[in-house]
Structure 1
Amino acid sequence: MYSFLLVGAGGAIGAMARHGFGSIVGRLWSMSFPLATLLVNVLGSLAMGVFIGLMARFLPAWQNEARLFVAVGVLGGFTTFSSFSLDTIALIERGNLLMAGAYVLLSVVVCLVGLYLGLLVTRGVA
Structure 2
Amino acid sequence: MTAPVPGPAPGRAPDLGLLGSVALGGAAGSLGRWGVGLALPHGAGQVPWATLLVNVTGAFAMGLLVASLVDRPGAHRLVRPFLGVGVLGGWTTFSALAVETVELGAGRHVQVALLYLTLTFVAGLFAVAAGVRLGRTARPGP
For normalisation by structure 1, the TM-score amounts to 0.88
- Please list the CA deviations of residues 32-69 of structure 1 after superposition, one character each: whole Å capped at 9, or x if unmatched: 2111100111111111111121103542242x411111
Of all paired residues, the percent bearing the same amino acid is 34
Of stretches 89-98 and 52-61 in structure 1, the one that deviates more from structure 2 is: 52-61
Q: Specify which of 35, 38, 48 is matched with residue 52 of structure 2.
A: 38
Alignment of 1:9-88 (within 5 A): 9-26=24-41, 32-62=46-76, 64-88=77-101
1:51, 1:107 → 2: CA distance? 20
- Please list the CA deviations of residues 6-30 of structure 1 after superposition, one character each: whole Å capped at 9, or x if unmatched: 211110000000001111122xx65
SS of match in other structure, 2:74: coil
Q: Which has the higher contact order (CA 8 A, sep 6+)?
A: 1
* Shift in alpha-carbon separation, 1:61–1:48, aligned structure 2, 3 A: closer
Q: Which has the larger radius of gyration?
A: 2
Which has the larger helix fraction?
1
2:32, 2:70 → 1: CA distance? 25
* Shift in alpha-carbon separation, 1:121–1:61, aligned structure 2, 3 A: closer
The equivalent residue for 2:103 is 90
Show structure 1 runs of 5+ residues with no match. Answer: none
After TM superposition, the runs of 4+ consecutive aligned structure 1 residues lying more than 3 A away are none
SS of match in other structure, 2:131: helix
Whether the 8 Å contact between 1:57 and 1:122 is mirrored in structure 2 is: no
Say whether residues 1:116 and 2:133 are aligned partners.
no
Shift of 1:92: 0.6
Shift of 1:115: 0.7
What is the Cα-based RMSD across aligned positions, in Å?
1.7
SS of match in other structure, 1:21: helix
Which amino acid in 2 is paired with 1:35?
A: W
Shift of 1:73: 0.3
Which amino acid in 2 is paired with 1:50?
A: L
1:60, 1:111 → 2: CA distance? 28
The equivalent residue for 1:104 is 117
1:32, 1:68 → 2: CA distance? 34
